[in-house]
Structure 1
Amino acid sequence: MTVGPAGAYERMLAVAVAALHEQDPARLWPLVAANLPGLCGGEALIYKLGEWTDRTGAMGLSPAAAAHFGRIDDIGDEAMTVLRRGYPFADHYFAAGAVRRPGTAHRMAGRGWAHSRTAGTISRLMDADHVLAIPLPGTTTPVTGCLVYRAGADFTEDHVRAAERMQPLLAGVEQQRQLLERWRATQTPPEVTADSRLTPRQVTVLLLLADALTAAAIAHRLGISVRTVHKHVEGLYRKLGTRDRVSTVLRAQEIGLLPPRTGR
């Protein structure tokens, strides 16, 4: 069920807050997938964390999509190839100078959409007639984003505008996922992270501090204010018992929160 603008805004805030407090990067996109479709007039969703081609790109399902055909691996090779190809969105967003604004398959492909192989596949798999693509802003290759599905009438312009308003949230979720994945790759012992009591957002700020980014650059990367960055940095100082950025990074490396710096 689609929610109104005020309710959609509140739901967006709730999803954003939940994402920022989630420590497991594998749970971020499922969290979004469970909430996003109804905020922009859809019924089911597939998200793609990679290039929109017929061979590459991790994919995941919303609960409504999973209810139709189970796990993503149960779709079948032929149908998976069609969905991965992302017609007509892949060609549209890969075109030189293309604006990564959300858009519907029908408006991009015209009359050819209803007779396309992709339309037939989603009709068979999900009883859906229309697709709304929500690419992440600022991406080039690979293109990461969501495909939202619905039956009956096409998505309205209001739905498209709602999806556009949600793009920064999705970009933030993906940024958070990538940084948390990078952090987990350090194989930090669980007892170390528990003792440090860092929040997921503090972890992402710590990683960017280790990259020698300024507060302004971190704010731009994460889509938050410089003031908020300073608050996270102050929290890091307090929890790690440090007083400046260099000692904070060194302390984090010492206790295993960050990998040790290697020689150049």
Structure 2
Amino acid sequence: MAQLRVRDYEHMLDLVMAVLGNPDPESTWPLITEHVREVFDCTGVTFSGLYTAERILRTEVWAPESHGPIALELTERYRTPVQHPLALHMASGGTNPVILSRISERWRHSPWYDAARETGGGEQLGLPAPGDPRALRSLILGREGEFTEHDLALATRIQPLLLTADSQARELHRLRAAAPPPAPVAHDLTPRELTVLGLLAEGLTTQGIARRLLISPHTVNRHLEKVYRKLGTNNRVSTVLLAKQSGLAP
């Protein structure tokens, strides 16, 4: 297997820090898909599950956000993809990341390849995400250029981090469901500061918030400093926890 580079380990550390700093289980996979898209320079990334009892595909998360409509349309078109190469790989017990063109000789002549090309990602790398007994879940990375041995090696090293993050998110979700309802908190946040706080609670990074609001990362940090001061917090985790508990963020 190809050797990883220093930058690859930096990417993995960035992912770990982002996940550890994210107290919201609902935003774990959106955060992961966006991070993975940037690391692998993908056209798009989707997180989907083939629910075995109903034999129905559900696309739950995608990046970039603009791919949402076409991702959902393609999901509706191929709601029972039981013959998809990645579905067959996972159904037979495969849990390792795979490049689809390497496990299926007919990949480039399949309807799924044609569908993938509609999103600009005809070449695909599948990263199984076991953990839910109801479904065969996976991240699918798509781009025009071919995936390499190096990409496969990096996906293999990142996969355990993603599964740990998923396990943590499910445990946080369980604990939150058992917690008492939040009490409201008084605040004097401006509308802009509330917007930044909401995006922070979604799991966006400083750069992600800046891109969403079309402002500079420096401006985002200034808003965050004011949010921290007004709420009496001093970091991302405590701020989002307080916002969730007090109803300032959904």
State the TM-score, normalizing by the size of structure 1: 0.59
Task: Name the counterpart of 1:101.
Answer: 96
Distance 2:131 2:63 in 1: 24
Distance 2:158 2:140 in 1: 13
Partner amino acid for 2:76? D
CA offsets per residue over residues 11-37 of structure 1, 9 Å max, x none? 221221221221211111111111113
Distance 2:165 2:90 in 1: 21
Q: Report the CA distance between 1:131 and its aligned residue.
A: 0.8
Q: Report the CA distance between 1:99 and its aligned residue.
A: 3.8
Which of 79, 84, 87 is equivalent to 1:87?
A: 84
Distance 2:83 2:12 in 1: 26
How many positions carry a matched residue from both structures? Answer: 180
Would you say the 8 A contact 2:51–2:134 is kept in 1? yes
Q: Report the CA distance between 1:68 and its aligned residue.
A: 3.9
Unmatched tracts of structure 1, length 5 or more: 193-264
Would you say the 8 A contact 2:125–2:141 is kept in 1? yes
Where 1:100 maps in the other structure, the secondary structure is coil
Task: Name the counterpart of 1:207.
Answer: none
Where 2:104 maps in the other structure, the secondary structure is helix
Distance 1:175 1:28, change over 3 A: same
Q: Report the CA distance between 1:147 and its aligned residue.
A: 0.5
Distance 1:54 1:162, change over 3 A: same
Unmatched tracts of structure 2, length 5 or more: 185-250
Would you say the 8 A contact 1:102–1:133 is kept in 2? yes
Partner amino acid for 2:84? Y
Partner amino acid for 2:120? D
Where 1:81 maps in the other structure, the secondary structure is coil
Q: 1:135 aligned to 2:128? A: yes
Would you say the 8 A contact 1:69–1:75 is kept in 2? no
Where 2:61 maps in the other structure, the secondary structure is strand
Would you say the 8 A contact 1:40–1:160 is kept in 2? no
Q: 1:35 aligned to 2:35? A: yes
Larger mean CA deviation between 99-108 and 155-164 belongs to 99-108
Distance 1:127 1:190, change over 3 A: same
Would you say the 8 A contact 1:41–1:155 is kept in 2? no
Distance 1:119 1:49, change over 3 A: closer
Where 2:108 maps in the other structure, the secondary structure is coil
Q: Report the CA distance between 1:57 and its aligned residue.
A: 4.0
Q: Report the CA distance between 1:75 and its aligned residue.
A: 4.6
Task: Name the counterpart of 1:156.
Answer: 148
Task: Name the counterpart of 1:48.
Answer: 48
Distance 1:7 1:130 in 2: 23
Amino-acid identity (%): 24
